[in-house]
Amino acid sequence: MKLLEILAEHVHMSSGSFINISVVGPALTFRIRHNEQNLSLADVTQQAGLVKSELEAQTGLQILQTGVGQREEAAAVLPRQARSTSPMRSVLLTLVALVGVAGLLVALAVALCVRQHARKRDKERLAALGPEGAHGDTTFEYQDLCRQHMATKSLFSRAEGPPEPSRVSSVSSQFSDAAQASPSSHSSTPSWCEEPAQANMDISTGHMILAYMEDHLRNRDRLAQEWQALCAYQAEPNTCATAQGEGNIKKNRHPDFLPYDHARIKLKVESSPSRSDYINASPIIEHDPRMPAYIATQGPLSHTIADFWQMVWESGCTVIVMLTPLVEDGVKQCDRYWPDEGSSLYHIYEVNLVSEHIWCEDFLVRSFYLKNVQTQETRTLTQFHFLSWPAEGTPASTRPLLDFRRKVNKCYRGRSCPIIVHCSDGAGRTGTYVLIDMVLNRMAKGVKEIDIAATLEHVRDQRPGLVRSKDQFEFALTAVAEEVNAILKALPQ
């Protein structure tokens, strides 16, 4: 309608922001959808009153009053054509109704265009999460419907009463062991909420460790010498004969990053589809040899996905940390080992995607329901997927990774199973994350003497190639220093 289009120009909004437009007698009512200016109904009607004379001059209508309705919370504008006769009023009302219908169609077209643009933007943003396939469009449409559902519920919950249960899982459900009612829920709504640093370190120890880290980072020559010494370090024993066996070579993504014979995960042969105990994965022990703290592994290949889920099941894992996109710069880094939606069967393991939630542009969280179809046993587990860590490089900042780690540990807290950590080759990014987490966990337990180089040698004794570059080693030092600094700030002074 011309009146609403002119009003939209005055308040700097698009005409598509007016919804639920209706004409009842001389009254024109409408609602306002969420907009970039964050204008409410009251703001718009107040502005309409301020520019009343201009609206009358441009439309030839006389505006009797403006306001916000009490029952339906809809704005109303009461126009009346000056010096009109009764027959003319009927004609005008008909014209107003026709214009209203036309305006509604225009608003619908604008909404569709906005939706298509948003969908295109989301596709570009999530393109790195996996290769394009036959189900890609369906997945994005489903995510878009979820976003629209959440937005609608937020805008009209007061006017329409209590909301109905949503298929989109809540943020808190990501950290629940209970089975979710919905078989598959996706949300692309960012939910950035930084976890506070755990203030469980005495001040003197914190300052001592921080000074040690900062000295390392300032002294570039010392840092370079330390890295050279680490590169020259050789683990003993260091044979990888099993990984290089004829039947196992094809199970390795990268020939240079293989598990040691003395430190590798062994699958149960009777449950393996290939009747082999081999998988490219290494247990990483922190202090108790009976209970690995981590399992460092490569990103699954298409023909090792069943082996991966067998390892998840047999290790009792409840948390997976994924540090690579599926595809980076056109190169496949990892095969998708979970279903796009619903469930998929990998040998005897049925994996059901319960929810997928994007916390921020750097990482997302997925919840899975895992079932052994032979025994009918079921489990739940959570995958934390960090997206902004390039292969052989480092994230642009330590802050997102540190918050990511806090969320992982919040989910893992109190459990006694290993955390499965993987990137593409199970070495560079995987080793850097394990190194950061292990050092910070030692600090949290009260260890006062921290030697990151010695810790790296300790984990390299268990898997070769962990932390692939000097930049990644320096990033680990910086991350530890920044987390200690955050803990010190959180302590009562």
Give catalytic residue positions. Answer: 423
CA distance 208 to 279: 41
Alpha helices in 11-85 (DSSP H): 41-50, 52-59
CA distance 147 to 138: 14
List the structure tokens of 34: 């969420």
- 260 DSSP assignment: B
Residues 6+ apart with CB under 8 A from 83: none
Name the amino acid, one letter, at 316.
G
First to last CA, the chain: 63
Name the amino acid, one letter, at 124.
E
Residues 6+ apart with CB under 8 A from 141: 119
CA distance 108 to 14: 12
- 80 DSSP assignment: E
> Residue 437, by phi and psi: left (phi above 0), alpha (psi -120 to 50) or beta?
alpha
Q: Are 429 and 385 in contact (CB under 8 A)?
A: no
Residue 364, SS3 per DSSP: strand
Residue 270, SS3 per DSSP: helix
Q: Are 16 and 111 in contact (CB under 8 A)?
A: yes
| Buried/exposed code over 334-345 (b: 16+ C-beta within 10 A; e: otherwise) | bbbbbbbbebbe
CA distance 183 to 352: 7
CA distance 242 to 287: 26
Q: How many Cα atoms occupy the beta-carbon half-sphere of 364 within 13 Å?
A: 19
Q: Taking Cα atoms as reference points, which of 390, 385, 341, 337 lies closest to residue 364?
A: 385
Residue 301, SS3 per DSSP: coil
